[in-house]
C-alpha cells in the first residue's frame, strides 16, 4: 500500500468514526425525547465536542492531502467528497445537540398524542435509517444503497409539511401549551434538515464513486420521480 | 482546425516495436501533454513531428505524420523547412557558445537573412515572447552561458520562436529547472498557446495538469487514453490511466 493509500484509508476511518458517533447522537436524542431522559441530554452535549473535534481534524487532513499529496482522479474525488460529507455530518451532529437542548429546557415531556399525531418518532427512525444506509454505502463504496436515501428524504419532507396543520390544530385546542408545540416543531424542522444533509451526502458519494454530478438534475427529476445517477 | 496528426503509426527501433498503431491529432493553438512511464514511447512519438528520429539508424516507420495536412515523411519534404515550421525545446537548455543576441538571431542567419534591422526586430520580439527581454535587454552581447538555467531555457524558446514556427515540441522543458524557473516556463506555455500549437512531454503530472488542454497517456508503446486534461485528472476513462496517475501502477 502506498503512503497516499494509507493516508486515504486513515481519512476514511476517521470519517466513519465521526459518522458512527453522530448516528449514536441521533439515537440518543430520540431516546431523550421519547423517555424525557435528561442524562442522555448530557451525553449528547458531551459527545458534540468530540464531533466538532473530528470535523476540524478531517478538514485539516483533507487540506494537507490536497496540498502535499496532489491526489488526482478517484483519490481527488474521494478527498473532495470527504471534505463535504464531513461538513454535512457535523451539521447533523449539531441538530442532535439542538434536540437535546430542547429537552433540557422542557419542564415536562411532550404529550404522547402530539408525538404520535406529528409522526415525530417515524421521522427519527427515517433519519436514523438514512444515516446508517449512507454510512454503509460509504464504508463499502457501494452506491446502490445510497439511492434509497432520496426516497426516504421525500418521506421526511412529507411528514414535515403535514406537521404544520397537525400542530396548528393542537395549538388552537390548547393555546397554553403553544410554546411547547413550537419547540416540538423546531425538532421536526431539524429532522427534516437531517434528511436534506443526507441527500447532499449521497450526491457526494455518487460524485466520488461514479464521477457524476447529479445536484441540479435531481432537483428537476424530483418533481416526477426519484433521481437516478 | 487540426494542426498536426499521426495516423496509424507503427515505429520500430530495429526489431523493437516502440510505437503501436497510434493515431492522435492536435488541434491548433492547444497544448497537449504526453505522459507515461519511462520507455513508453512518448519522446519517440514527439520526435516524429520534426523527423528527429531520422538521425537514429535502423528505424522503420509505418503510417502517416501530417503537419498542416501535409505528409512530412513524403519524399518531397524539405527537412530544413519542416524544422523551421516545427520548433523544439529540449530537456536541458542548450544555448550556442555565442552571445544572447546571436543565439536568437542564429536561425535567421542560417536561413540567409541579412537585414540587420529585421533581425534585431525579430530578436527583440522573440525575447519578449519568451518573457526574457526585461532580464537581458542590457546585456545582449554577453555570452548566453552567463544566464541561469531557467533563463537559458527561455533563451532556447526565444531561439525556437525566432524562425516563426507554428508547432512547438517540448521534451521535458522544465525538468532540469528550479520551481521558480519552472513556473516561468509554465506561464510562458500559457502565453504561447495563444499563437502556437504545443506538444509537451512531461513526467510531472501536476505540470501536465497545469499547462495542457489535452493529455495523452502512453504505456508500452500504446496510446492508452487521450482526453481533456481536466477530465483525465478527475475521471480518467481507462483504469490503466487511473492506476498510473494515482501512483498505483504495476
Q: What is the mean pLDDT of residues A129-142?
A: 95
End-to-end alpha carbon distance in chain A: 31
Question: Cα(B211)–Cα(B213) distance, rounded to whole angstroms?
Answer: 7
| CB-CB under 8 Å, B246 with A73 | yes
**Superfamily designation of domain B2-245:** P-loop containing nucleotide triphosphate hydrolases (3.40.50.300)
CB within 8 A of A107, min separation 6: which ones?
A: none
Distance from CA of A128 to the nearest CA of B (A): 32
pTM: 0.83
Q: Say if residue A204's pLDDT is above 90.
A: yes
Model confidence over B156-178: pLDDT tens digits?
999 999 999 999 999 999 988 88
| CB-CB under 8 Å, A211 with B246 | no
Strand-pairing partners, residue B59, are B13
Q: Is-contact B218 B41, C-beta < 8 A?
A: yes
* B45, HSE (Cβ side, Cα atoms, 13 Å): 38
Strand-pairing partners, residue B199, are B32, B169
Model confidence over B31-42: pLDDT tens digits?
999 999 999 999
Distance from CA of B144 to the nearest CA of A (A): 36
Candidates A2, A72, A211; nearest CB to B205: A72
Task: Extract the C-alpha cell encoding A57.
Answer: 481534524
Sign of CA dihedral A126, A127, A128, A133: positive
End-to-end alpha carbon distance in chain B: 37
Enumerate the domain spans of chain B: 2-245
Domains of chain A: 3-221 (1.20.58.220)
Per-residue confidence (pLDDT) for residue A144, from 0 to 100: 82
Question: Cα(A33)–Cα(B23) distance, rounded to whole angstroms?
Answer: 67
| CB-CB under 8 Å, B235 with A72 | no
- pLDDT band at residue A216 under the 50/70/90 scheme: low
Report yes or no for ipTM above 0.90: no
Distance from CA of B5 to the nearest CA of A (A): 28
Q: Say if residue B53's pLDDT is above 80.
A: yes
Question: Cα(B62)–Cα(B36) distance, rounded to whole angstroms?
Answer: 22
DSSP state of B224: E
Per-residue confidence (pLDDT) for residue A111, from 0 to 100: 95
**Choice between A196 and A215, residue whose per-residue pLDDT is larger:** A196
Candidates B234, B241, B247; nearest CB to A76: B234
Chain A residues with CB under 8 Å of B241 CB are 73
Model confidence over B111-138: pLDDT tens digits?
899 999 999 999 999 999 999 999 999 9
Phi, psi of A86 (to 5 degrees): -55, -50
Q: Say if residue A68's pLDDT is above 80.
A: yes
Distance from CA of A14 to the nearest CA of B (A): 22
Chain A residues with CB under 8 Å of B248 CB are 2, 5
Q: Is-contact A164 A172, C-beta < 8 A?
A: no
Amino acid at each position: 500500500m502506498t503512503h497516499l493509500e494509507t493516508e486515504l484509508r486513515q481519512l476514511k476511518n476517521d470519517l466513519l468514526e465521526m459518522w458512527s458517533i453522530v448516528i449514536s447522537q441521533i439515537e440518543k436524542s430520540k431516546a431523550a425525547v421519547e423517555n424525557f431522559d435528561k442524562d442522555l441530554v448530557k451525553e449528547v452535549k458531551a459527545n458534540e465536542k468530540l464531533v466538532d473535534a473530528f470535523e476540524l481534524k478531517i478538514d485539516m487532513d483533507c487540506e494537507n492531502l490536497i496540498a502535499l499529496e496532489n491526489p488526482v482522479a478517484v483519490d481527488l474525488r474521494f478527498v473532495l467528497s470527504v471534505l463535504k460529507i464531513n461538513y454535512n455530518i457535523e451539521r447533523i451532529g449539531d441538530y442532535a445537540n439542538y434536540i437535546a437542548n430542547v429537552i433540557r429546557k422542557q419542564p415536562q415531556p411532550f404529550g404522547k398524542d402530539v408525538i404520535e399525531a406529528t409522526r415525530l418518532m417515524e421521522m427519527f427512525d427515517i433519519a436514523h435509517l438514512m444515516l446508517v444506509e449512507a454510512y454503509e454505502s460509504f464504508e463499502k463504496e457501494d452506491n446502490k444503497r445510497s439511492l434509497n436515501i432520496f426516497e426516504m428524504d421525500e418521506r421526511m419532507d412529507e411528514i414535515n409539511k403535514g406537521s404544520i396543520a397537525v400542530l396548528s390544530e393542537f395549538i388552537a385546542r390548547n393555546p397554553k401549551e403553544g410554546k411547547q408545540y413550537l419547540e416540538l416543531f423546531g425538532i421536526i424542522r431539524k429532522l427534516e434538515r437531517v434528511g436534506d444533509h443526507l441527500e447532499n451526502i449521497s450526491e457526494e458519494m455518487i460524485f466520488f464513486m461514479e464521477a457524476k454530478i447529479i445536484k441540479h438534475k435531481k432537483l428537476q427529476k424530483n418533481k416526477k420521480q426519484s433521481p437516478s445517477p | 482546425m487540426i494542426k498536426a496528426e499521426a495516423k496509424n503509426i507503427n515505429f520500430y527501433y530495429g526489431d523493437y516495436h516502440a510505437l503501436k498503431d497510434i493515431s492522435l491529432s492536435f488541434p491548433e493553438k492547444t497544448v497537449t501533454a504526453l505522459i507515461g512511464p519511462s520507455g513508453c514511447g512518448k519522446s519517440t512519438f514527439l520526435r516524429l513531428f520534426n523527423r528527429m528520429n531520422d538521425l537514429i539508424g535502423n528505424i522503420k516507420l509505418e503510417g502517416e505524420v501530417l503537419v498542416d495536412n501535409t505528409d512530412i515523411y513524403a519524399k518531397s519534404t524539405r527537412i530544413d523547412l519542416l524544422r523551421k515550421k516545427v520548433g523544439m525545446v529540449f530537456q536541458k537548455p542548450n544555448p550556442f557558445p555565442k552571445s544572447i543576441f546571436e543565439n536568437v538571431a542564429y536561425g535567421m542567419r542560417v536561413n540567409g537573412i541579412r537585414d540587420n534591422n529585421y533581425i534585431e526586430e525579430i530578436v527583440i520580439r522573440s525575447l519578449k515572447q519568451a518573457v526574457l527581454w526585461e532580464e537581458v535587454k542590457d546585456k545582449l552581447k554577453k555570452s548566453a552561458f552567463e544566464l541561469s538555467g531557467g533563463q537559458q531555457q527561455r533563451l532556447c524558446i526565444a531561439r525556437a520562436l525566432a524562425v516563426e514556427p507554428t508547432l512547438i515540441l517540448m521534451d521535458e522543458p522544465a525538468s532540469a529547472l528550479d520551481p521558480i524557473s519552472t513556473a516561468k516556463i509554465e506561464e510562458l506555455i500559457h502565453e504561447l498557446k495563444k499563437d502556437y500549437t504545443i506538444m509537451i512531454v512531461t513526467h510531472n503530472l501536476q505540470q501536465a495538469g497545469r499547462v495542457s488542454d489535452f493529455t495523452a497517456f502512453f504505456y508500452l508503446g500504446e496510446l492508452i487514453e487521450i482526453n481533456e486534461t481536466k477530465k483525465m485528472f478527475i475521471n480518467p476513462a481507462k483504469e490503466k490511466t487511473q492506476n498510473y496517475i494515482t501512483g498505483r501502477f504495476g
